[in-house]
Amino acid sequence: MGELARRTGMSVRALRYYDEIGLLSSSRRTEGRHRLYTAGDVLRLQQIRSLSALGFTLREVGEYLDGSEVPLERVIQLHLARLKERIELQRRLCERLERVAARLGSGEEVSSEEFIETVIEVIEMSERLDKYYSAEQLEYLEQRRREIGEQRIREAEAEWAELMEQVRAEMEAGTDPSEERVQVLAARWMGLIHEFTGGDPGFERSLDNMWQQEENIHGIDTGETREMGEYVSLALSASNQEEHGS
């Protein structure tokens, strides 16, 4: 798996996830149970990446590669949606650069690091959106942004940072997930996710796929975040069991 990751530029975590969901499994194994990927496996991985880039979800990719036919009209629609999304991202980048230029024009100092971070942030987000979200989901995401509003988005970002610190503190203290204060944090955690996704299950799965496969998002260590997510899941399970028991 490590050799395939090196050759293809994929992360080992992503390949392992593909294996777990049955999307890409090695055709052979050594006596020591190490995975051996054939030329056919490598071709399938290339097809997975190509279809994902078009906007297909991992489930849709699996169905297509396993024999389902996808209408040409849908492929063209996905191409168009991707192009429109890239145009929208370029527009946002232009707006952010215009704000930086305006600050410079007013005499305000802007570091080269801030400028570079602005560009990189937009580019990286564009690549991630293309990788994990379908065209329909990207359209829905833009709709949610308009509905929520930029002010609420900034407020939610601050709430996330505070909430993650609180969850981390409870984890480090060894607090049992069944404790009421942890369950309150878990409810807030899920509430923020639902606010962002609108409670759409497919969108939540795509969001989870991104956090499962990426190692770093917006400077956040996803490994640590996944651990917190598991802790939150335990708290939610404990809460559901209490409700069921009552």
pLDDT 10s digits, 37-60? 788 888 888 888 777 766 677 777
Q: What is the pLDDT of residues 76-101, one digit of tens each?
A: 776 677 677 777 777 777 877 788 78
Domain layout of the chain by residue ranges: 2-65, 71-132, 149-246
User: How far is residue 183's CA from residue 49's CA, in Å, rounded to a whole number?
Assistant: 38
> Topology of 2-65 in CATH?
Multidrug-efflux Transporter Regulator; Chain: A; Domain 2 (1.10.1660)
Q: What is the pLDDT of residues 170-193, one digit of tens each?
A: 999 999 998 999 999 999 998 988
Q: Is the pTM of this model over 0.75?
A: no
CA 89 to chain centroid? 17
pLDDT of 75:
65
Quick one: three-class SS letters along 118-141? HHHHHHHHHHHHHHHCCHHHHHHH
Here the tokens at position 223 are 């490994």
Here the tokens at position 126 are 């564009």
Which of 3-12, 147-156, 191-200 shows the lowest per-residue confidence on average (mean pLDDT)?
3-12
Q: What is the pLDDT of residues 3-43, one digit of tens each?
A: 776 776 777 777 888 888 888 877 676 666 677 778 888 88
Which of the four pLDDT bands, split at 50, 70 and 90, describes residue 120? low
